[in-house]
Amino acid sequence: MSNATEPKTALGKTANYLDERLTLGSVLKNFGRKVFPDHWSFMLGEVAMYSFVILILSGTFLTFYFQPSMAHTIYEGSYAPLKGAEMTVAYSSSLDISFDIRGGLLMRQVHHWAALLFVAAAGLHMLRVFFTGAFRKPRELNWLVGFFLFLAGMGAGFTGYSLPDDLLSGNGLRIIDGMIKGIPLVGPSISSGFFGGEFPGTEVIARLYSLHIMIIPAVIIALLAVHLMMVVIHKHTHYPGPGRRDDNVVGYPLMPVYVAKAGGFFFLVFGVIAAISATFTINPIWNYGPYDPSPVSAGTQPDWYIGWLDGALRLAPGHMDVSIFGYVIPMGVMLPLIVSLLFLAVVAAYPFIEAWVTGDKREHHLLDRPRNAPTRTAIGAAGVTFYAVLWAGASTDLIAVFFQMSLNHVLTAMQVLLIIGPILAYWVTKRTCLSLQRKDREIALHGRETGRVVRLPHGEYIEIHEPVDKYELWKLVDFKDYEPIMPRPNKDGKITLGTKIRASLSKFYFEDRIAPVSKAEYELAHADHAPETIEEPKRKPKQIKAKK
């Protein structure tokens, strides 16, 4: 590493000193030359990461003043309508942070807004990865890591939401307590173990605090490190386009382009969060009052990322409880629990399911445009709809009161929508994708319609079609095509059940499909026919198979 010429400037000397001892030069050289592609949707994960950094910074400030104790005290702070009220030390210290510590309220609001943004950005990032097929080999494991990061984010959020021990958070904890107690046999023991006796007990805030400031952040940091390490190992994916292949990465080097860009972007995200926190209040705990197990206020909701679970509880039909040997299984709790766990399991396992169905063992570094994977996109849309209905289900009361509707009707509508919505979304999305693919095919083969109608010498009218340029064409035709797998006998000559399931799933995925324009078709369209021809080239009958 040592150079023949010794550095002369102070900076050069320092750099040389470090390089001789830490070989930073080679690290920087390798790392700095790492190429990242540029697209707005690749920055969503970054937003989540920056929000997390902001969470750690603002959270550290809050730990200096927050006291996670459930001991009783009398409030003597500045907020008049609570003066003299009996409350826990946790709530009183949260009020002090809000009213009596300089900058405390801003920090609390920064922390809370950043938390909402953290999970939202992570969720959107996850959707981007899903809809572009970025989870395919070799990135299936990183999808799993990301999935657990999202869960950890939810956990961090919920434990934080519960800390101030105000009426709202106490109600939230009470619901969790009820859910735990609803689990047959072991529920009550788990609950009393967690709360240190009967709810609310005197210990839960301190336990949530340990989870919130040590255990969950440590898990997030560890997972984040693995997540980023895998990004470096796998290299970043890129969207299809000219010169972009599965074996390259088209973009800019980390040094100096992305270091500068990402650094600036961090401050932009920080700026947005700070601006929101300075102008909009979030979780005004002083409004909710100290926790007391008897009152439950109207409009009691969890933060958004827990909303879908709350919605599942609200939408679950009552009167379905079953009794086994005198033990009541409360289906109003068990059904939402089972459904949400199943949903999460499908989300976590999706890359593996799809890889099994397609039987594709190739590495994919080129992303799919969502339309070019119609079934996956449709499944995603159905999943988003399912989640969104559950999510909206958590605000049935607010929907009813703000749109002047009957709460009961809103609830029933949501229950129906939970079943019908995903099916409709699947169908609409799949048809839309297929139509977009047909349009792409049309444009690739015949060019764009210009709107110029010309009369030929022999009297025929035609519209001039303008061929797309080569760069555009690349995007339109460069995608992988799958065909349904036939169930084939294995080496013993048997068709196993697994093979059959796989074949039918494969049919479900790829029965309706639009093949990309092949070279032959393209040449046919441009050689035998004039570009303005309106007649379509003959297609192989297998390429487009409609169901009917």
Partner 1 sequence: MNKKPMRRRPWALGVVIFLGLIASGGGYAFATQSVQTNAVGSAEQIEEGRKLFLANCATCHGSNGEGAIGGPSLIGVGAASVDFQVGTGRMPGQASGPQLYKKPVQFTEEQIAAMASYVASLAPGPAIPSEEILRTDGDPTHGGELFRINCAMCHNAVGAGGALTEGKFAPALGGVSEKHIYEAMITGPQNMPVFNDANLTPEDKKDIITYLKYVEQNDSVGGLELGSIGPVAEGLFTWIFGLGFIIAITVWLGAKAN
Closer to partner 1 by Cβ: residue 47 or 517: 47
Closer to partner 1 by Cβ: residue 131 or 510: 131
Least Å distance, CB 399 to partner 1, is 8
What angle, 0 to 180 degrees and rounded to 10, lies between the N-to-C axes of helices 104-131 and 374-393? 150
Least Å distance, CB 202 to partner 1, is 21
Closer to partner 1 by Cβ: residue 46 or 140: 46
Least Å distance, CB 104 to partner 1, is 11
Least Å distance, CB 305 to partner 1, is 8
Helix (H) or strand (E) holding 35: strand 35-36
Least Å distance, CB 19 to partner 1, is 30
Please state, in angstroms and rounded to a whole number, the distance separating the CA atoms of residues 105 and 238.
42
Least Å distance, CB 441 to partner 1, is 26
Among 201, 202, 199, 205, CA closest to 166: 205
Q: Where are the alpha helices (DSSP H) in 359-493?
A: 374-393, 396-402, 407-446, 470-477
Task: Compute CA 59 distance to the chain's CA centroid, rounded to the nearest angstrom.
Answer: 23
Return contacts of 251-258, CB within 8 angstroms, 24+ apart.
251/35, 251/36, 251/37, 251/38, 252/35, 252/36, 252/38, 253/32, 253/33, 253/34, 253/35, 253/36, 254/31, 254/32, 254/33, 254/34, 254/35, 254/36, 255/28, 255/31, 255/32, 255/33, 256/32, 258/36
- The contacts of residue 439 (CB under 8 Å, 6+ apart) are none
Closer to partner 1 by Cβ: residue 28 or 398: 398
Question: Would you put residue 248 in left (φ > 0), alpha (ψ -120 to 50) or beta?
Answer: beta
Least Å distance, CB 219 to partner 1, is 23
Closer to partner 1 by Cβ: residue 191 or 395: 395
Closer to partner 1 by Cβ: residue 186 or 259: 259
Question: Would you put residue 79 in left (φ > 0), alpha (ψ -120 to 50) or beta?
Answer: beta
Structure tokens at 268: 């932009």
Closer to partner 1 by Cβ: residue 81 or 326: 81
Least Å distance, CB 510 to partner 1, is 32
Closer to partner 1 by Cβ: residue 302 or 380: 302
